[in-house]
Amino acid sequence: MPVSPVLCEVGDDGVAVITLNRPERRNGWNPELEARYFEILEVADADPRVRAAVLTGAGKAFCPGVDSARLDKLAGQGLDVSGRRSPVRPWAFRKPLIAAINGACAGMGLVQALLCDVRFAARGARFTTAFARRGLAGEFGITWLLPRLVGLERASDLLLSARVFDADEARELGMVSRVTEPGDLLPAARAYAADIAANCSPVSLALIRHQLRADLRNDFAEALGAAYRAMDVAASGPDFREGMDSFLAKRPPRFPALAPDFDPTKVTGDTLPEVGLRPEEQLG
């Protein structure tokens, strides 16, 4: 029986641990891994047991980018992305997504880490944008994502030099928020996710996660208008009542699971930019 390139385990704490699972190829990104990862995100998004997710890698690497064997075959031929899901599919996930970066993180692997909400890294993990040293352009939106996380000067440094840097520097740059010893990485990321799962409203999380991304392209007036619409829905919903009741009673909250049909884009009236890949946008 073939081994799945991505694994998912849902714990009793409401946390799904998603593991990129090609350790023999250092979790190199390929179409099978991509399809399975995005499929798991869809399943976890609809699963009422899941309130937060942690993304990590099997073995000693997180994801060093596209599998080197695949890159070698593509060299000089261009890259056909027709029929593939949008590489920024994680943005449509309605639940907190925490990266636990356990080792090498580069290229497409770095893009996927940047699409997570919060990033933990193991001390000693190494990062690089890689593209300029492989003769490639900044791929899959990284030239938009990275400056918004670390600023234009630092993003320019990392993209133009494609130099290797470690987890401690990544924290100094603002790319990751926490650095742990390797053996503490997954427990720390999971504990953080479990605290969110236990104490935060699933509706609030879905709304805030969407607001953070949509407002990256909005001016303040647009963001404020969307916030008013979200505030009205949240304040009139059962999660707010439970949040106040549990606070006043000094007890843990008992928030209901996120409804499968809850769509934060319809609440705010502010959808994310089109991120799908159309035929005319194929590379090569």
* pLDDT digits 0-9 by tens, 17-63: 999 999 999 999 999 999 999 999 999 999 999 999 999 999 999 99
Domain boundaries, the chain: 6-196, 201-268
Looking from the CA of 23 toward its CB, the CA atoms found within 13 Å total: 10
Residues 258, 111, 105, 37, CA torsion sign: positive
Q: Looking at the predicted structure, is the pLDDT value of residue 278 above 90?
A: no
* CATH tag for 6-196 (out of 3.40.50.9100, 2.170.150.20, 3.90.226.10, 1.10.540.10): 3.90.226.10
Domain 201-268 fold is Lyase 2-enoyl-coa Hydratase; Chain  A, domain 2 (1.10.12)
Structure confidence at residue 279 (pLDDT):
34
Is 126:104 a contact under the CB 8 Å cutoff?
yes
Mean pLDDT of 136-144: 92
Whether the predicted model's global pTM rises above the 0.85 cut:
yes
Tokens of 76: 């000089």
Structure confidence at residue 44 (pLDDT):
97
Q: Looking at the predicted structure, is the pLDDT value of residue 1 above 90?
A: no
Structure confidence at residue 83 (pLDDT):
65
Structure confidence at residue 74 (pLDDT):
60
Which amino acid makes up residue 194? A
pLDDT digits (tens, 9 = 90+) for 153-191: 999 999 999 999 999 999 999 999 999 999 999 999 999
Structure confidence at residue 67 (pLDDT):
81
Q: Looking at the predicted structure, is the pLDDT value of residue 277 above 60?
A: no
Instruction: Give the number of other Cβ atoms within 10 Å of residue 182's Cβ.
Output: 15
Nearest-5° angle of CA 95, CA 29, CA 72? 160
Mean pLDDT of 106-116: 96
3-state secondary structure of 104: strand
